[in-house]
Amino acid sequence: MKKIFILTAFFGLSLIACGQDIVIKSGTLIGVESKEEVRAKNVNVGDLIGFTVTEDVKVGDSIVISAGKKAYAKVLVAKKSGMAGTKGKLKIEWVYCESNSGVKIPLEGEIDFTRKNHTAGAVAAAAIVAAPLIFITGQHAKIPAGYKNVTSVKSDTEL
């Protein structure tokens, strides 16, 4: 009976040691890429935009986020370009990334895709040349397909 108890206790401790929790640390860098173009005129504040993780992320010898997993950013500002050269605005903030175990890993950082403003030029040209030039629009704010960026883990997360 004593031998069975000792073997059971040893086996139980072995399982506990093997099943140690993996933690991805705050500040861990994650490369991401957009697969499709996203324009400010096609999204709304609060929408989630999907990106793809570009490289495996490891903790020790374990791959905790495989390349190809999804990462998401939330739209903070979405304003399409307007008449008289008004620039488009698009600003996003990283929200989370999916781990291989299904845990949502919180991310941090913002990206501002605000474009150039052509208002002064359009108004001046319209005043000098012709009124229709007031209808010149500013540059569109967009995230191009294939855009690459690096975000980081916001807080230590147990996987």
Closest CA to 34 of 87, 78, 74, 72: 72
Q: How far is CA 44 from the centre of its chain?
A: 16
Residue 9 inside a domain? The answer is no
16 in any annotated domain:
no
Whether 4 is covered by a domain: the verdict is no
Is residue 13 in a domain? Answer: no
Rounded Cα gap, residues 74 and 96, in angstroms: 9
CATH code of 137's domain: 2.40.128
Residue 1 lies in a domain: no
Q: What is the pLDDT of residues 79-127, one digit of tens each?
A: 887 654 567 899 999 999 999 999 999 999 999 988 654 444 444 444 4
Domain of residue 67 covers 22-158
Q: Is residue 76 part of a domain?
A: yes
Domain count, the chain: 1
Q: Is residue 8 part of a domain?
A: no
pLDDT in tens, 46-77: 999 999 999 999 999 999 999 999 999 999 99
Contact (Cβ atoms closer than 8 angstroms) between residue 134 and residue 84: yes
